[in-house]
Chain A
Amino acid sequence: MIIIAPFAQKLRNNKENPKNYAYWNQLVYEIQKFEQVVQVGVTGENQLVDDFRKDLPISELKKLIAECKTWISCDSFFQHLAWSEGKPGIVLWSVSDPLIFGHPENTNLLKNRKYLEPNQFLWWEYVEHKDYKFVDPSEVLKYLK
């Protein structure tokens, strides 16, 4: 079983968070050909797979992390929780810097450092979501097989 944590925290201006991976549908479609996928997140987020476990308390998330083979996440709370539980996974980056917000124990897939926001410490509300800033699903699959 692979956990996916597809979405970063909802922005206050309701725009799409620029850290949300752009190609989840394609990626999940490919993964489900060889592995069960469990989605974690909160109420209001798009459901990408049949097994969507919403609003789990941290203790339940930790149990799930312990059970999974690995996990895939955007740059969100989940990657830190899984890191703290000692379970390595894949983080899909775009505009935030894995050298600041990531953990070397994970596979950090960043398409190009030129897409990183110059100021990493202000509000993501002011940054446009751009699909081209993310790696292609085929790149992610290389690390799963």
Chain B
Amino acid sequence: MSKVLCSVSTRGRYFTTLPLTLQAIINQTKKVDKLIIFDDNDDPQDMRNELVYSYFFQMLDIKKIDWEWRFAEKKGQHFNHQVANTMGFKWVWRVDDDALPEPNVLERLFMYTSDDVGAVGGSILTPPLGGYFESSGLIEDIDKEPNIQWSEIRMMKNVEHLHCSFLYRAGICDYNLKLSRVAHREETLFTYALHKKGYNIIVVPGATTWHLKNPDGGIRSETKKELYHHDEQIFRNFIRAKDKTIIVLNCGMGDHIIFSKILPEIENADVYSCYPEIVPGKSIAEAEHLFGDLDQWNIYKKMDQWNWKSSLENAFRKMYL
């Protein structure tokens, strides 16, 4: 059974859009197996004392939907999404706290899940609507076209990245935790990583989420331009390396020797190495500067996550081939 966790990260929206988001999740035609709300507010409150929330929590209980309200670390929503990503569910449906999925959205997204699918998204619409347009959804076109999800989606299509709210295969890729608190582009980087990993990223028709783009709360309450600039630089560095396989060997000498056996099989390798005399490459410091979080290439962390029993060489194969 493929279990679905619904993850909502919220900040500054207790009494505006968050209740609408929760209502929309509760009223889905396909129930989630668990709902987790990460409360990233500067001054978190006990919402059980609020009438509407009290009713929501009772409705979740009546519908036998497991739920959890977790006071988060206030480091940004990417940290919360990473927690959800590693909670042991096969799929995570992430919903922004100013997004209102129509009742059939999860059911529609889930219909398209299969072994080769990494993430599924639908239309993300904000009133007033513009006209219909078609976009490629390719990362190389990201500066040339509006996001494909901002228009009606009329047929299923493979893309390379998704935006805002979507259903994704958990535990495959990590969120980049070196992004700033605003986590600008975090979902684009995350879904693009799933695409690079070889999974299909798709948009599907008949799954509309209304995005109310609340000007208060969320990342839009952060106005420091340098935070956005920092995150944008990391994003651009990933895009520049889009045709390469980024390899970061932040590990021991023996690990480098084992890795060197599979290096010839990797196309367009862009290597960052601790021991360039064993595996030639640029420095780890440079990798950190370009890509921020290097944990996604930490082979020991990955083997731990995967409950790995096979050889280290095979672990490198799983990571890079």
User: What residues of chain A have their CB less than 8 Å away from a CB belonging to chain B?
Assistant: 9, 57-58, 76-77, 79-81, 83-84, 99-102, 119-122
Known: A81-B253, A100-B310, A100-B311. 19 other contacts (CB 8 A): A58-B277, A77-B252, A77-B254, A79-B254, A80-B253, A80-B257, A81-B257, A84-B260, A99-B309, A100-B309, A100-B312, A102-B311, A119-B304, A120-B308, A121-B300, A121-B301, A121-B303, A121-B304, A122-B300
Q: Is the interface of A mostly helix, strand, loop or mixed?
A: helix
Q: Please list 8 pairs of residues, one from A and one from B, whose beta carbons are closer than 8 Å in the complex, sorted by A's number.
A: A77-B253, A80-B253, A80-B255, A84-B260, A100-B310, A100-B312, A101-B254, A122-B304
Min CB gap A62→B, angstroms: 11
Query: Quick one: closest B residue to A59, CB to CB?
Result: B277
With contact pairs A58-B278, A77-B252 given, residues A121 and B308 touching in the complex (Cβ less than 8 Å): yes
A119 to B308, CA, bound (A): 10
Contact A80 B308 (CB under 8 A): no
Contact A77 B309 (CB under 8 A): no
User: What residues of chain B have their CB less than 8 Å away from a CB belonging to chain A?
Assistant: 252-255, 257-258, 260-261, 277-278, 300-301, 303-304, 308-312
Min CB gap A118→B, angstroms: 11
- Which of A9, A58, A84, A99 contacts B261, CB < 8 Å? A84
A83 to B304, CA, bound (A): 25
Min CB gap A20→B, angstroms: 15
Chain A residues with Cβ below 8 Å from B312 are 100-101
Contact B252 A9 (CB under 8 A): yes
Q: Is the interface of B mostly helix, strand, loop or mixed?
A: helix
Contact B257 A77 (CB under 8 A): yes
Chain A residues with Cβ below 8 Å from B303 are 100, 120-121
A84 to B261, CA, bound (A): 8
Chain A residues with Cβ below 8 Å from B255 are 80
Most B-side CB within 10 Å, residue of A57, A79, A121, A122: A121
Min CB gap A94→B, angstroms: 16
Contact B304 A84 (CB under 8 A): no
A101 to B108, CA, bound (A): 44
Query: Quick one: closest B residue to A119, CB to CB?
Result: B304
Contact B258 A80 (CB under 8 A): yes
Chain A residues with Cβ below 8 Å from B308 are 100, 120-121
Min CB gap A11→B, angstroms: 13
Chain A residues with Cβ below 8 Å from B309 are 99-100
Min CB gap A8→B, angstroms: 10
A97 to B257, CA, bound (A): 18
Contact A80 B311 (CB under 8 A): no
Chain A residues with Cβ below 8 Å from B301 are 121
Chain B residues with Cβ below 8 Å from A81 are 253-254, 257
Chain B residues with Cβ below 8 Å from A79 are 254
A72 to B253, CA, bound (A): 18
- Which 9 residue pairs of A and B lie closest in terms of their CB atoms, listed nearest first? A80-B254, A121-B304, A80-B257, A77-B254, A77-B253, A121-B300, A121-B303, A84-B257, A81-B257
A142 to B277, CA, bound (A): 36
A121 to B257, CA, bound (A): 18
Chain B residues with Cβ below 8 Å from A120 are 303, 308
Min CB gap B303→A, angstroms: 5
A80 to B254, CA, bound (A): 6
Query: Quick one: closest A residue to B278, CB to CB?
Result: A58
A83 to B300, CA, bound (A): 21
Contact A76 B310 (CB under 8 A): no
Min CB gap A104→B, angstroms: 9
A83 to B260, CA, bound (A): 12
Chain B residues with Cβ below 8 Å from A122 are 300, 304
Query: Quick one: closest B residue to A78, CB to CB?
Result: B254
Query: Quick one: closest A residue to B303, CB to CB?
Result: A121
A29 to B283, CA, bound (A): 43
A104 to B50, CA, bound (A): 63
Chain B residues with Cβ below 8 Å from A100 are 303, 308-312
Contact B304 A76 (CB under 8 A): no
A81 to B310, CA, bound (A): 20
Query: Quick one: closest B residue to A102, CB to CB?
Result: B311
Query: Quick one: closest B residue to A103, CB to CB?
Result: B311
